[in-house]
Amino acid sequence: MAAPPSTVLNLKDILSKHYQLPIKVLQQYLYVARIHCSKPTLCELRVLTEKRKSVVVYEIEEHQGSRFKTEVDFYNTTIPAMTEFQRMKGIIARPYSDLFPKCIGARISARQSMDTPDDTAIIIFEHLVLANLAEMHATPIAMRIQCLDKFKEKVIPCLMNNNKQPKNCARCFDHVDKMLDELGCSGDHEVQIRIPSVKNAIRIAEYNAFFKEPFTDETWLTLSHSKFSLFNLVLKYNCHTGRPIDCRILDLQSLDYDYCFNDLLFFLLTSAKPSLFNSDFDYLLECYFNSFIRVLTEHGINLDPYTWETFNAELNRQAPKMIFTIMQALPALMCKDFGEDGEPIFRNNFITRLRSVIMVYLVRGWIND
């Protein structure tokens, strides 16, 4: 089987048509995620455009088989027809297109007059979970800016009291201390010497939680899930490709009005693969950011306050405050075995995750080493 191409032909035209804006592609990087003789080749596409100066992440299917044309036709013809039929009937609450991943572009060939898939056949999808999270955050911001009275009437009453005082978490801190002590005894000298700094950062986060200052700038404040992880998502997978095609968010009992970065950091550090933390953490942030900006753009929001620079600056301010929340959640999310005393047993996967979270905080300067 021939190797997939390293670039997507006519990518500029595909993106410009989808976003209905002139898009100039400065760079594109295509990474192969899976090659299978009987299934579409899965790739990850990272695109640097002139408009935003940041990387957008997409998922791609490539195939040369005849059945690939059926899937392309479905995205290009069938889904729009079904959605338009619903619109004509006044059924707009749940568009047919919502049943499937958001398709950026689909073709059987970049060459005209081709009626069978060739080596340029692709389907480009929007990155799923982070795009959904970004939309969950950006839409309330747009509503707050454009319809403040309605936002106060319909949204704010559904959120928890953000001025609530946190309960005494002495036992929780004992658990976190135990986690860190076990990690320090694992023989990992690089982490062991930094455990005191981590514990100090946790104590500072505790202090900030108890003496939380009122918000003075609402730019990045929005509806916050508070526990956004894979355990609170329902993912639907394509049985043919193995790729997630739908994502639904569960457990809305702890909705709050807080910084969007809280959900983003909680999800990445508790749910993303630790192997991504070293080389791909920034592009995961960029994926979220660009989906966030796309939603604000669709609502006609002024983007001056929402730059990549201000995003990173505020992220760096909020991240140190999240360290205890993330540490406290890890045992419940990662541990499957428990001792007779009911305490979680820390296996290798947990130790790997805990170490990776600490290293992210150290490398990015969120903990003073």
- For residue 289, is it within any domain? yes
Asked if residue 141 is part of any domain, the answer here is yes
Same domain, 113 and 160: no
Structural domain including 101 reads 11-126
- Residue 219 inside a domain? The answer is yes
- 114 shares its domain with 75: yes
Q: Are 25 and 12 in contact (CB under 8 A)?
A: yes
How far is the C-alpha of 262 from the C-alpha of 268, rounded, in Å? 10
Mark whether 179 and 322 lie in a shared domain: yes
Give the domain-ending residue among 126, 141, 160.
Answer: 126
Q: Are residues 85 and 213 in the same domain?
A: no
- Contact between 41 and 35 under an 8 Å Cβ cutoff? The reply is yes
Other CB atoms within 10 Å distance of the CB of residue 236: 14
Q: Are residue 26 and residue 61 in the same domain, yes or no?
A: yes
Q: How far is residue 130's CA from residue 291's CA, in Å, rounded to a whole number?
A: 8
Q: Does the residue 334 lie in any domain?
A: yes
If asked whether residues 187 and 56 sit together in one domain, one would say no
Number of domains observed in the structure of the chain = 2
Distance between CA atoms of 235 and 249, rounded to whole angstroms? Answer: 9
Q: What is the reported pLDDT for 222?
A: 92
Q: How far apart are CA 107 and CA 95, in angstroms?
A: 23
Question: What type of residue is 286?
Answer: E
Note the pLDDT tens digit of each residue in 257-301.
899 999 999 999 998 888 888 777 887 898 899 889 988 988 899
Distance CA 121, CA 4 (A): 10
110 and 158 in a single domain? The answer is: no
Which pTM value belongs to this model?
0.70
144 and 85 within one domain = no
97 and 242 housed in the same domain: no
Domain with 213 in it: what CATH number?
3.90.1200
The span from the CA of 307 to the CA of 310, in Å, is 5
- Which of 74, 100, 126 corresponds to the end of one domain? 126
Per-residue pLDDT tens digits for 123-146: 887 667 888 899 889 999 999 999
5-48 pLDDT, tens digit per residue, is 567 888 888 888 877 778 778 777 776 654 444 445 556 676 76
**To 5 degrees, how large is the angle CA 167–CA 168–CA 170?**
145
Q: Does 63 lie in the same domain as 140?
A: no
Q: What is the pLDDT of residues 82-123, one digit of tens each?
A: 888 888 888 776 677 776 767 888 888 888 777 777 778 888
Residues 62, 201, single domain; the answer is no
- How high does pLDDT run on average in the chain? 79
Which of 93, 126, 159 is the last residue in one of the domains? Answer: 126
Continuous segment of H or E residues that includes residue 263:
helix 260-271
Cα 288 from Cα 138, distance rounded (Å): 11
Tell me the three state secondary structure of residue 151: helix
**Per-residue tokens: 81:** 């027809």
